[in-house]
Amino acid sequence: MHNRSIIILLLTTVLTFSTLYVPQPILPLLAEDFSVSRSEISLLISLTLFPLGLTPIVYGYLIDNISARTILHWFIGILAVTELSLAFVMDFRIMLGLRLLQGLLLPAIFTAIVTYISNLSAAHQRQKSVSRYIAATITGGFAGRFITGLISDYSDWRTAFIVWSIGLLIAWSLL
């Protein structure tokens, strides 16, 4: 049971980190569609990354009072909804707001996943499990960029957001 749970958490990690980097390969397309400059469009990444450095400490306290599983259940669900919403946004400011919201959700998810994996792993397996988590973060970052670029080459950029939201909903249901 623990191995299955850890695999689901690692899948969730890949999908969550992918979500972080979805806009990066399509920034030029987004800039064109929303008629904004390159510096303005880069806010889609910057606004999401900014909370990653500030909020993990706060979320650590949150996890002390609420189970990591509960946080994951709610925050992955909200992340999936925001990701799907990004596919239908017509106003750049709304897109920025959704990405900022994602930036506030992501550190809680990452902190909860590490906590959950650590709690599920036996003491002698903990280092290996956390190493797998780190590998999943790197895989997710790559997948978010590569798969989004691939999807947008063969379809519309909005399709990429839909595909990632479906992945998150699958992870949410498995959790």
How many Å apart are CA 53 and CA 104, to the nearest integer?
A: 10
Q: Which two tokens stand for residue 60?
A: 């650590």
pTM for the full model? Answer: 0.93
How confident is the model over 55-79, as a mean pLDDT?
A: 86
How many Å apart are CA 148 and CA 86, to the nearest integer?
A: 14
Q: What is the pLDDT of residues 2-34, one digit of tens each?
A: 789 999 999 999 999 999 999 999 999 999 999
Q: What is the pLDDT of residue 1?
A: 52
Average pLDDT, the chain: 93
How confident is the model over 68-90, as a mean pLDDT?
A: 95
